[in-house]
Amino acid sequence: MSVKEIFETMDYGPAPESAAEALTWLVDQGARFGHFIDGSFTEPGTLFDSRNPATGEVLASLTQATQDDVDSAVAAARQAQPGWEDIGGAARARFMYALARLLQKHARLLAVLETLDNGKPIRESRDIDVPLAVRHFYYHAGSAQLMDSEMDGRAAMGVCAQIVPWNFPLLMLAWKVAPALAMGNTVVLKPAEWTSLSALLFADLCRQAGLPDGVVNIVTGDGAVGEMLVRADVDKIAFTGSTEVGRAIRTATAGSGKALTLELGGKSPYIVFEDADLDSAVEGLVDAIWLNQGQVCCAGSRLLVQEGIAERFYAKLRARMDTLRIGNPLDKCIDVGAIIDPEHRQRIARMIGSEGDIHQTLPCPEGCYFPPTLITGLSSAHPLMQDEIFGPVLVAATFRTPQEAVQLANDTRYGLAASIWSENINTALDIAPKLAAGVVWINGSNMFDAAVPFGGLRESGFGREGGPEGLAAYTRPVRTREPLTPIAPFAGSNADPQPVDRTAKLYIGGKQVRPDGGHASGIYDAEGRLIGQAPIASRKDIRNAAEAARGASGWANAPAHTRAQVLYYIAENLHARADAFATLSDRLTGMARGADEVSLAVDRLFTAAAWADKYDGRIAQAPLRGAALVMRQPCGVIGALCPDEAPLLGLVSVMAPAIAMGNRVVLVASQPFPLAALEFSHILEGSDVPGGVVNILTGPHADLAPTLAQHMDIDAVWSFSGADVSQPIEQGAAGSLKRSWVNDGRARDWWGPEGTGPEFLEQATECKSVWIPWGA
């Protein structure tokens, strides 16, 4: 037999990993588990089975949590939290190091158990999931060590409810538990019903590490348990899962004051330009879509190929697909393992149907397996091009120009991740910032590290996991905020005669415009004298303002220096009219601090201008031969309800950092004292602010807040209103899962440090991680 014949005919022999140690561990536990609450396992209750997806065999029986179980776990976490926080970051770091080392010592046991429970190939559990989980505990041990010295003014959230999915059970646990513990929080974790075993093994490791009782609690069960946990007395909820469930959680927690981060679904584009290394791009695509059987939220499930190379690339891809090995996940030679559950396999089969040109990897074993699939010939509007399949199914389309590639890539309601393949670094770095995605990989896919934040935009959720940005989600400022006292407008009936009536108008698109509804309300001073009329904005006015703001998108691309110069010019013009604004403020509010308000507003404009070219990103220290850039990009269009108590200062304090970062804003002015904002619009007109960058409306906050939150052209909503609008804003924002920042009825000191600073800049930007490997 010739060498050529050997290479053409030889096949991989089986290389099975032994499951004996993992099965022994299960038997030693009695193969029946209760919950892990307050440092010990409870007695098993009503049981359900955890099965091996590859064989259907029962691995263990787990307990379905009841309301009493959830309440007990939350109570244990609540009792343990003050002591855990008080021991200090350095002491917590020792426990974190111990957990990291225990994960390393039991790496093979964890990997095998994960594969048995999940169905993913053992190579992935062994080489990706477990090492990354270990990395997160080491990284966050360092974060705990440095917290006391480097995070002054920040404190733990408290008790964190954490709900993780079935596709990366151990890794998602590490992503959530490690930063929470590092920052002094305690946790109640609910693993997925289908894959709870590695979480229960982790609980056993917590005992071995000597973790104080109640710091980590684990309850098992179906989605009903997750609902109980969302409703429980917790301070923070972190959820990874489907967009539908994430939307339900956002709705359920609206107005509760609970902090929330959501890492949801995706339909990530995989863009291949004609100058790409096609063979490398094919291999990268195998990792992008068929890792974990495509059951990955950031899977590169939408292939976009430049027309000139499309047929050649498809041919290479089909040839590579035909060599993929599907079978026993414990076999180290297997590329694609089992689908998580027969129910999910049937869902995938129903979704793909028979449309388009379908190519599948065959033969496919019997049982809970699904063949890697490529579908071409679909329109960009087809459901398979738009909806998350969450399986080993790749859909493909072509593009002609880089601009068209960006349009197709962004033509989805998701915004989690993207891959760009090109040998031209100029092309790659031109496209990366334009993609609506929280993570962009250049000439790579599925790269993760604890130092690099991960998370999405749009309906892929909000918040980040990993890096300092992820830590911020588990801390809060150390301050006491008093309940906000609503301010009623002054009433009256007297009117001073005016030689010429001056009509106050809304400010939309750089112009003074009358309200669409044609209504106005009288504004009186403390003596009951009519000062003027303020227009009452409506839904139509919000629509017009949002449209104008969307049309001013060029502001985001303006150099930071240019934005700073505009802010300085606004400050100059406001200072020139300081006396007039001070007099107006005193008369509107009935107080005598107008001069201080104007002076501080000028200072806030200068501060925002100073930050415009200084609040930037960083290069994360990821284990990469290249760079992982963490960029700060504007959110887009921000709708904001300004504070009532500081009619000029509050509006400027909200507006300035938002536009300094490149956003456009739709501002709803102080409800009782709106005339200061409308007078300020004349300052904007003479200060080189492009039309649509700042839009100012007046009217009842309770009427306008839901429309702001629900509007699809508004990307984020802030509320510092004196009205009780936090709940309707968060409920309305759930529709498109836009970011919201609300005061929960608590006062903010606009005259002090709370009225400015990095908190506003952080809320005004989205974090994008761009991975750039390099080298020959």
As annotated, the active-site residues are 263, 297
| 460 secondary structure, DSSP code | G
Residue with tokens 């890794």: 171
Distance in angstroms (rounded) separating the CA atoms of residues 253 and 261: 11
Distance in angstroms (rounded) separating the CA atoms of residues 570 and 160: 43
CA dihedral 24, 25, 31, 33 (to 10 degrees): 180
Distance in angstroms (rounded) separating the CA atoms of residues 184 and 77: 11
Residue 334, phi-psi category: left (phi > 0), alpha (psi -120 to 50), beta (remainder): beta
* Burial class of residue 706, CB neighbours in 10 A (0-12, 13-18, 19+): middle
Distance in angstroms (rounded) separating the CA atoms of residues 664 and 244: 29
Q: What radius of gyration do the chain's Cα atoms show? A: 28
Distance in angstroms (rounded) separating the CA atoms of residues 30 and 425: 56
Distance in angstroms (rounded) separating the CA atoms of residues 263 and 250: 12
Helix (H, G, I), strand (E, B) or coil at 148: helix
Three state DSSP letters for 29-76: CCCECCCEECCEECCCCCEEEEECCCCCCEEEEEECCCHHHHHHHHHH
Residue type, 158: G
Distance in angstroms (rounded) separating the CA atoms of residues 422 and 404: 16
Kindly give, in sequence order, each residue whose CB lies less than 8 Å from that of residue 755, ignoring residues fewer than 6 positions away.
600, 604, 646, 649, 650, 653, 748, 749
Closest CA to 545 of 704, 732, 725: 704
Q: What share of the chain is helix, strand, coil (3-state, %, to 5)?
A: 40, 20, 40
Question: Encoding tokens for residue 275?
Answer: 């100058």
Note whether 655 and 705 are within 8 A (CB): no
Q: How many CA atoms lie within 13 A of 480 on its CB side?
A: 1
Distance in angstroms (rounded) separating the CA atoms of residues 502 and 482: 39
